[in-house]
C-alpha cells in the first residue's frame, strides 16, 4: 500500500550503486546510536539497513494507525512524533517519540493490531523493519531481546506511574 506523501528513499532493489552504499553507511551509523542495536556487529547492521525501507513523512502524517496490522517496527532516524490513542473523549497523546527510538514493536512482539497511532510532529525520517526481519534479529541476537525488554519495562514503569497519579487524583480526599 502506498501512502500519499510518504517518500520511500530506499529498500530492497529500490536504488543501486554509490548512492545506496552512502545511505547504508549513514544508516549503520544511525542504527548504532539506537540502544537496542548498539551491540550488534556493523556487518549485521548493514544487512538490516539494506533489507529495511528508509522512509520520510511530513509533519501531520501517520506512520500507522491504531488497529492496523502490525507488519513492521520503525526506528526514528530524525524528527519527532506523537503517540496517540483513541478514547471515548477523542484522541489522547500518550507519549513523544524522538530520534533513536523504536515504535511499532508491540504489535509485532504480541501479534496484535497496532495499539496506538504514531503521527509525525516534524519532518520525520524512519527505517521501517519488516516483522520477519525484526523477529529474526531478536532470535539471532539475544542481547537485542534484552534491550527490547528494558525499553518495554521502562514504558510500563512510566505508564504505571502516570496511571497511579491519575487514579490518586480522582479519589476523594479522606477526612482526617
Instruction: For residue 77, give its domain range.
Output: 7-165
Residue 148 falls within a domain, yes or no? yes
Residue 154 falls within a domain, yes or no? yes
pTM of the model: 0.78
Count structural domains, the chain: 1
Q: 102: domain CATH number?
A: 2.60.120.10
Strand, helix or coil at 112?
coil
Residue 1 falls within a domain, yes or no? no
Residue 54 falls within a domain, yes or no? yes
Residue 18 falls within a domain, yes or no? yes
When pLDDT is cut at 50, 70 and 90, the band that residue 20 belongs to is low
pLDDT of residue 39: 78
Residue 176 falls within a domain, yes or no? no
Residue 170 falls within a domain, yes or no? no
How far apart are alpha carbons 26 and 37 in whole angstroms? 14
- 30-62 CB burial, b ≥16 within 10 A, e <16: bbeebebbeebeeebbbbbbbebbbbbbeeebb
% of the chain with per-residue pLDDT over 90: 40
Q: pLDDT tens across 26-46, in order?
A: 888 888 888 888 878 888 888
Residue 174 falls within a domain, yes or no? no
Amino acid at each position: 500500500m502506498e501512502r500519499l506523501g510518504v517518500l520511500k528513499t530506499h529498500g530492497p532493489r529500490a536504488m543501486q550503486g554509490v548512492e545506496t552504499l552512502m545511505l547504508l553507511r549513514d544508516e549503520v551509523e544511525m542504527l548504532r546510536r539506537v540502544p537496542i542495536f548498539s551491540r550488534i556487529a556493523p556487518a549485521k547492521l548493514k544487512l538490516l539497513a539494506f533489507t529495511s525501507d528508509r522512509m520520510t513523512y511530513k509533519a501531520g502524517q501517520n506512520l500507522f494507525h491504531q488497529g492496523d496490522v502490525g507488519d513492521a517496527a520503525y526506528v526514528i532516524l530524525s524528527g519527532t512524533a506523537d503517540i496517540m490513542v483513541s478514547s471515548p473523549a477523542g484522541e489522547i497523546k500518550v507519549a513523544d517519540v524522538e530520534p533513536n527510538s523504536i515504535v511499532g514493536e508491540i504489535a509485532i512482539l504480541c501479534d496484535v493490531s497496532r495499539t496506538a497511532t504514531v503521527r509525525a510532529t516534524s519532518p520525520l525520517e524512519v527505517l521501517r523493519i519488516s516483522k520477519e526481519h525484526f523477529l529474526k534479529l531478536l532470535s539471532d541476537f539475544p542481547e537485542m531481546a534484552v534491550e527490547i525488554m528494558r525499553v518495554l519495562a521502562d514504558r510500563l514503569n512510566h505508564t504505571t506511574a502516570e496511571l497511579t497519579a491519575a487514579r490518586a487524583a480522582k479519589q476523594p480526599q479522606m477526612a482526617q
